[in-house]
Structures are given as structure tokens and as C-alpha cells.
Amino acid sequence: MTTLDATTTAPASRLKGWDSIEFYVGNARATAGFLTAAFGFEVTAYAGPETGRDDVASYLLEQGDIRFVVTAGLTPDSPIWTHVREHGDGAQDLAFVVDDATMTYEAAIARGARSVSEPYELSDEHGTLRLAAIGTYGETKHTFVDRRDYSGHYCPGYVTTGLPPMPAGQPVGLDRIDHVVGNVEIGKLDEWVAFYEDVMGFRQLRHFDEHQIATEYSALRSTVVTNDAGVTMPLNEPADGLKRSQIQEYLDTYRGPGVQHIALGTGDIVQAIRALRSRGVRFLEANEEYFHDVRNRLGYLEVPWNAIEQLGILVDSESDGHLLQLFTEPITDRPTVFIEIIQRGGATGFGEGNFKALFESIEREQERRGHL
């Protein structure tokens, strides 16, 4: 009966939202330091040799409702090192809070998902955490996290004392994960959309083809899936253009599909970008022409135009409202994963009106790397 119940309820409807995003990195201490100093995160838990883990160093970083985990391997045979050697630093686990990890896992497997970890439990004095994981694009996985019988802060094995101090800096004010974007192999977009729709039970929110998202040089196709409960994931594939698409550059340097960017929401993007810039975060810069053009098109919007232009924030508008956004440079050594900062003023899109300006900015950077 359990199996019947599990498979009749689509996994997507059991996902209550984002639990955390885990990055596999070469140096967790340095990455945690970067995310606290530059992005205003706070280290709130740690696991490593001091806590009885001789195989990893792992830091939980929080800001608002956002939880990032950065983990490095400490031994040459660590699977984390195998991942980092192949991909460089990257987002490896997109973890969701679920109502029942076993049921969610069983439903996903029954519908054709690839198993990564069968249901398992971790316990300490705060109770029992139940988990299971399935594979998605590339070597990325989705862990299902059931916290109903666990009252600890994050996960057994992590301590919440003796943590690195917060560096000084203006508060940034990021408060939630808005969406997480994956890049998949050329020609595979529709297969991955079918995985999220048919196996996971997500709904397709919108689609853009290569004619809608193209610059003079490169093009991409993109489909957005959502579970309507806070989990929204656009998926991109490269399309043939005159030169190497930025998606293809990602696939070549990450050596396969993976997370392209993580969009973090804020209620005050002017304050957020001011703080991030003062902390040394570098962004993809639109040119002057962009701001001239966007003020002509969208000047009627009641937004702080002077601050927006001074801070280089991008503006887009749709029938349901507007959004303000800005994209960082890659946060890793390889030109792979980057962060988007977004403030929504009613708009439910992803800044399609800005894609061309954004891509032209990315192409200027690709050219500097000799990758165009």
C-alpha cells in the first residue's frame, strides 16, 4: 500500500520548498570566507575533524531563508575531490524539504528517476533526520529532506558553536532562493523538461526558443518548470550560433551539465547591490546604451532610477509587473556558476527583456577568456 500511495502522489507536490544548496569545493574554509565577506552570509554550523568528521570540512551558511552548504573532501580518495577534479567548484546538491523522504523517493523511482541514495536516517540528541536522493542533470542530485522528527539546527554531525566570526560590512539583505537554473546538453532540453514534468510532476511555466534568446553570436533554448510551491527551475540548452554559446562554454568548462546560476531574492535590491559592491562583488556590467534604452522604454515605472543607473541594476517589465535584477561574474575559478540578485515588483518572469544585454555582457567576458 505504501508504494501505491507513494506513486499516486507526484514528487513535486511533496516538495515544500528549498532546504539547501550544497557546493562541492576545493577549499571549504576559503569559500565560506568568500561567501561571508563578499555576500554577507553567516556561518551557522560546521562539520569537520573537530566534530568527528575526518573525511570532510563542511560549512552551513545562512542569510534570510537561504541556506548554502560548502563542503570539501579531506582525503585523496574522497568522492568530493573526484567531483571537484572533473567540474571545479560547483553546486552539486539541490535539496528540498519534503513531507516524507521515503514516499517522495519511492514515487520518483517508480516514475523513472535514477537513485543516488536510498532512504536513510541520521540521528543525534535532537532527533532523526530522514533523507533520500535522486539524480538529475549531469552529476547534480536532489536530496529529499524530512525534518518532521528533527529539531536540530541543520543536520546531525554539525556543531553550532566555535564558528568563524562575521566579517564587517554593510548588511546585504538577501532573503530567499528565487530560482535555480540548470544548463543541459545540446539537444537534451526537452528530455530534461519531460523528466521534471512526467517523473517529478512539475508544471511548465514558460519556454523561450533560440529566436527569442539570441545575440549576434550565440543563442539558447530555455524552459522553466515549477512545482507552484516555491521551487522554480529554468533549464537551458545551447543553440547553434555564429560563435560558441555561453551555455556551450559552461558545458565545456564544467565538463557536463550543471547549475548555471542561483537567483537570490531581496526586498531592497538597491541596498543589496550597494552592499555587495562595497564588499567587492563583481557584476556583469551592461553598457550605457542599455540604460538610455531602458529609461526610454520603461521610464514610467516608479523605481529609483538614479540609484538603479548608478548601481548598474537591470530593469524589466511584463504585463504583471516589473523586476529588478543583476548578475555576478562567475563565483568559481572556471567560468561556470554565478549568482543573480532579484527584486520582484509583481513580475513572475526571469528578465527576458534583459537577456540580450546580459548575453552581450557575458560575450565580452568570454572574448577576454578566448572562449568565444
Question: How far is 341 from 345, CA to CA, in rounded Å?
Answer: 13
Nearer to Fe ion, 117 or 348 (CB): 348
At closest approach, how far in Å is the CB of 241 from Fe ion?
20
Binding string to Fe ion for residues 256 to 295, with x set by CB under 5 A, is what? -------x--------------------------------
Residue 331 contacts Fe ion per CB under 5 A: no
Nearer to Fe ion, 283 or 350 (CB): 350
Taking CB under 5 A as the criterion, which residues in 335-364 touch Fe ion?
340, 350
Nearer to Fe ion, 340 or 360 (CB): 340
Helix (H, G, I), strand (E, B) or coil at 47: strand
Contacts with Fe ion: how many residues (CB under 5 A)?
3
At closest approach, how far in Å is the CB of 71 from Fe ion?
24
Radius of gyration of the chain (CA): 20
At closest approach, how far in Å is the CB of 181 from Fe ion?
6
At closest approach, how far in Å is the CB of 360 from Fe ion?
16
Binding string to Fe ion for residues 165 to 204, with x set by CB under 5 A, is what? ----------------------------------------
At closest approach, how far in Å is the CB of 233 from Fe ion?
10
At closest approach, how far in Å is the CB of 294 from Fe ion?
17
Question: How far is 248 from 237, CA to CA, in rounded Å?
Answer: 8
Residue range at the interface with Fe ion (CB under 5 A); choices 34-42, 85-93, 312-320, 334-342: 334-342
CA dihedral 75, 76, 77, 79 (to 10 degrees): 80
Count CB atoms within 10 A of the CB of residue 344: 18
What residue is closest to Fe ion based on CB? 263
Contact 238, 230 (CB under 8 A): no
* Grid cell locating 10: 507526484
DSSP annotation of 362 reads H
Question: How far is 368 from 304, CA to CA, in rounded Å?
Answer: 33
Sheet holding 56-63, edge to edge: 42-47, 56-63, 66-73, 15-24, 90-98, 141-146, 127-135, 115-124
Binding interface with Fe ion (CB under 5 A): 263, 340, 350
